[in-house]
Structure 1
Amino acid sequence: MHAYTKEQLSRYLEHIGLSRYDAWKHSSADPLACLAALQTHHMARVPFESLSLHYSRHRLLSLDLEDLFRKIVDSGRGGYCMEVNTFFAAMLRSLGFQLISVGGRVRGPNGYKGWDHMVNLVTINGRRYLVDVGFGSNGAPNPVPLEHDHEFVGIAPMRGRLQYRNLEEHTDPNQRAWVYSAQENGDAPWKDMYHFVETEFMSGDFEVMNLRTMTTPQSFFVQSVMCMCTILNEEKEKPVGLLILHRDYVKRRMGAESEIIEHLESEEQRVKALAKHFGIVLSPEEQGGIRGLASELRGNGGHA
């Protein structure tokens, strides 16, 4: 299994604000704390985003590890689930973690779709944990143990839950899958977000999944310009909020409070917002890639 070099690993750790010492100080005594710190800092620095499907001439996403390193570390970008979870899996292996990457299905308004999501399952002291750095605002910001009916607090007041159960779509009632659900607050209903299995998927499986997700017109990522990352507390230890650019606005969510901090009416404004809020600077060629797409902002608050 390909892993990154020590030099690439050091550059990545520096990129997310962790030194080599920080990454390894708990790796033997407390590997779970090490994993949690890596996930926390990664999600605050490497955005979950769909920009290359809009600001690009070719609009194709590579899962090659060297391509991902150049995009994420060299260029300061992120990606959607298969990009960032593929990259994070390779970094974890480079640090000595044991894990497998598996497929998932996201639940839409009409039920579960096809295989369109990727997560990592990390084993520590014989126990598996769900680690997902690429789902979005309802995702889990920390490792989640694979325990039936396990509940946890995400970015408060959001709560998450894992269950190992049958799905409505299963024709065999004996079938089981891990279901990740989220609750916006203590009074809100639980909503199933996605489910996944414990069968290891190979790189070829993700290549097929990636091709469909980045090209089908029905894909959320093809339809929407989005970019988001977590906000950490002052000690840089705990995620406390979210910064989200979606289509024509930038929103900051801190706890139960959500505020639109910028409305975007043109491509010029959106490009400036990406640089201001996420440190993502698009080249003139990248900026030109969105011209003529339905996702382009053409002024007056409208899309093309």
Structure 2
Amino acid sequence: MYTYTNEQLSRYLDHIGYRQDARQEVLEDPLGCLTRVQHRHMARVPFESLSLHYSRNRLLSLDLEDLFKKIVDNGRGGYCMEVNAFFAAILRTLGFTLYSAGGRVNGPNGYEGWSHMVNIVTINGERYLVDVGYGSNGMPHPVLLQHDHEFVGIAPTRGRLQYRNLPDEHADPGQRVWMYSMKEDKASPWRDQYHFTETEFLPCDFEVMNLRVMTAPQSFFVQTVLCLWTLLDEEKKEPVGLLILARDYVKRRIGVESCIIEQLETEEQRVRALEKYFGIMLSAEERKGIRGLASELKAKS
């Protein structure tokens, strides 16, 4: 299994602001270490689709050296298969045992086929779902893989895992998948987000999935300029909200409070917002890549 070098691991930990001896923490408190590293990762490595818009070729590599360069050297992020593949290699480098699996997202028109990637980490004989690539409805912590397990996401949102059949999808009533559902608060209804299997997916499987997600015209990521990351509390310990750039606005969500902090009307404004809020500076060549696309922001005449 692929791992990064000690030097690369050190650079990554510096990148996310994790100053502790992570390898020693894995030995002493593996779940605690995993949780803390995940928090710092999601607060520094954005979930984003920028390279599908601000690029000449609009192709995304899942090569782990390419991902290290993109995320650590260039200060960027990526969508689920990029950031989860990268995070899996980081966790293996730290000494964790894990594998990656595929998922199907519940979209507006039902399940969309294999398009999502998750990691399943084993700690002291128990398995945890670890997903740093599901955006605003994702989970910021490792989640115990246990039927009917409920947990708090970014408060007041709540999540749930169930191991169950899909009566409207499965022809065989004996089939089961893990379903991740979430709701905005205790009083809200549960909404199924995605399901995944316990079958290990190989890099070649994700290459096939990645090709469709990054090229299909109906893909959400092809259609939408998106960049978001988690906001931590003042002590950098607990997730408290999200900072989201989506299409033509920047929004901050803290707890139940959500407000648009900037409306974007032109490409120049969006490029400046990416630098201002996420520290992402697009080159002149990258900015040219969006010209003529449906996702380009044009000033209203």
Q: TM-score with structure 2 length normalisation? A: 0.98
Aligned-pair CA distance for 1:110: 2.1
Aligned-pair CA distance for 1:293: 0.1
SS class of match (1:9): helix
Whether contact under 8 Å (1:99, 1:120) holds in the other structure is yes
Q: For the residues of structure 2 that align with 1:76 and 1:113, how far apart are their CA atoms?
A: 30
Could you tell me which residue of structure 2 aligns to residue 142 of structure 1?
A: 141
Q: For the residues of structure 1 that align with 2:297 and 2:125, how far apart are their CA atoms?
A: 50
Q: For the residues of structure 2 that align with 1:2 and 1:34, how far apart are their CA atoms?
A: 21
Q: Any residues of structure 2 matched to 1:179-218 within 5 Å, and which?
A: 179-218=179-218
Q: What letter is aligned with 1:12? A: Y
Aligned-pair CA distance for 1:263: 0.2
Q: Any residues of structure 2 matched to 1:129-168 within 5 Å, and which?
A: 129-167=128-166, 168=168
Aligned-pair CA distance for 1:257: 0.3
Q: What letter is aligned with 1:285? A: E
Deviating 4+ runs (over 4 angstroms)? none
Matched, 1:286 2:286: yes
Q: What letter is aligned with 1:259? A: C
Q: For the residues of structure 2 that align with 1:155 and 1:280, how far apart are their CA atoms?
A: 25
1:216-247, Cα deviation, whole Å (9 max, x unpaired) = 00000000000000000000011000000000
Q: For the residues of structure 1 that align with 2:87 and 2:98, how far apart are their CA atoms?
A: 11
Aligned-pair CA distance for 1:24: 3.0
Q: For the residues of structure 2 that align with 1:34 and 1:185, how far apart are their CA atoms?
A: 27
Q: For the residues of structure 2 that align with 1:296 and 1:113, how far apart are their CA atoms?
A: 25
Could you tell me which residue of structure 2 aligns to residue 263 of structure 1?
A: 263
Could you tell me which residue of structure 2 aligns to residue 169 of structure 1?
A: 169
Matched, 1:82 2:74: no
Q: What letter is aligned with 2:69? A: R
Could you tell me which residue of structure 2 aligns to residue 13 of structure 1?
A: 13
Aligned-pair CA distance for 1:207: 0.1
SS class of match (1:26): helix
Could you tell me which residue of structure 2 aligns to residue 47 of structure 1?
A: 46
Aligned-pair CA distance for 1:20: 4.9
Q: For the residues of structure 1 that align with 2:87 and 2:159, how far apart are their CA atoms?
A: 21
Could you tell me which residue of structure 1 aligns to residue 61 of structure 2?
A: 62
Aligned-pair CA distance for 1:187: 1.3
1:109-141, Cα deviation, whole Å (9 max, x unpaired) = 222111000000000001000000000111010
Q: For the residues of structure 2 that align with 1:294 and 1:109, how far apart are their CA atoms?
A: 20
Q: What letter is aligned with 2:268? A: E
Q: What letter is aligned with 2:204? A: G
Q: What letter is aligned with 2:125? A: G
SS class of match (1:28): helix
Structure 2: tracts of 5 or more residues without a match: none
Q: For the residues of structure 2 that align with 1:25 and 1:142, how far apart are their CA atoms?
A: 20
**Pair 237,25 (structure 1): closer, same or farther in 2 beyond 3 Å:** farther
Could you tell me which residue of structure 2 aligns to residue 73 of structure 1?
A: 72
Whether contact under 8 Å (1:10, 1:19) holds in the other structure is no
SS class of match (1:285): helix
Q: For the residues of structure 2 that align with 1:60 and 1:109, how far apart are their CA atoms?
A: 25
Q: What letter is aligned with 1:227? A: C
Q: For the residues of structure 1 that align with 2:296 and 2:268, how far apart are their CA atoms?
A: 11
Could you tell me which residue of structure 2 aligns to residue 32 of structure 1?
A: 31
Structure 1: tracts of 5 or more residues without a match: none
- Over the matched positions of the two proteins, sequence identity in percent amounts to 72
Could you tell me which residue of structure 2 aligns to residue 235 of structure 1?
A: 235
Q: For the residues of structure 1 that align with 2:299 and 2:253, how far apart are their CA atoms?
A: 26
Residues paired across the two proteins, number: 300
Whether contact under 8 Å (2:120, 2:130) holds in the other structure is yes
Q: For the residues of structure 2 that align with 1:231 and 1:110, how far apart are their CA atoms?
A: 31
Matched, 1:297 2:286: no
Q: For the residues of structure 2 that align with 1:156 and 1:149, how far apart are their CA atoms?
A: 19
Aligned-pair CA distance for 1:31: 0.1
Could you tell me which residue of structure 2 aligns to residue 118 of structure 1?
A: 117
SS class of match (2:114): coil
Q: For the residues of structure 1 that align with 2:57 and 2:23, how far apart are their CA atoms?
A: 39
Could you tell me which residue of structure 2 aligns to residue 250 of structure 1?
A: 250
Aligned-pair CA distance for 1:19: 2.0
Q: For the residues of structure 1 that align with 2:255 and 2:198, how far apart are their CA atoms?
A: 32
